Amino acid sequence: MSKDIITEAIEALPSSSATDTNVHGWERAGSLAGGLLLVGKGVRRGGLFGLVQIALGGVALARGFTGRSKTKSLLAKGREELEGLRGNIERAGDQLKELKNSAEAATSSATVTGNDSLESPKA
């Protein structure tokens, strides 16, 4: 019976799929190593600054163990939005060039009768 409870508890844990993780390879190993280093230094140092080091080390360890970083995902989301905006600006620039070319083509074949005030204003 206790085996069923343990199995249910394990299945209830949030699972991380490959799409959830955004920290891989050396970056993940570096987070683990840096987290261990910071926790160790914080324990040895003690006091308020030691607690700060322990907290930062804990965050780095959590990042390394889970393979997920909220900060990195927010930065990636912002980068994607900037790329989308860049694409929109480039498309708008292309449309402006097309409008300019079509306007120049339309005016080059137009004939003007009478006084063209832009090139020879009335005296």
Task: Give 47-83 pLDDT, tens digit per residue.
Answer: 999 999 999 999 999 988 898 888 888 899 999 999 9
Q: 55 and 27: one domain?
A: yes
For residue 95, give its domain range. 73-104
Q: What is the pLDDT of residues 92-102, one digit of tens each?
A: 999 999 999 98
End-to-end CA distance of the chain: 106
Is there a single domain that holds both residue 62 and residue 79?
A: no
Q: Buried b / exposed e across 95-104, counting CB within 10 Å, b at 16+?
A: eeeeeeeeee
Task: Name the amino acid, one letter, at 13.
Answer: L
As for how many domains the chain has, the answer is: 2
Asked whether residue 84 is domain-assigned, the answer is: yes
Task: Report yes or no: 67 and 26 within 8 Å, Cβ to Cβ.
Answer: no
Most distant pair of Cα atoms in the chain: their distance: 106
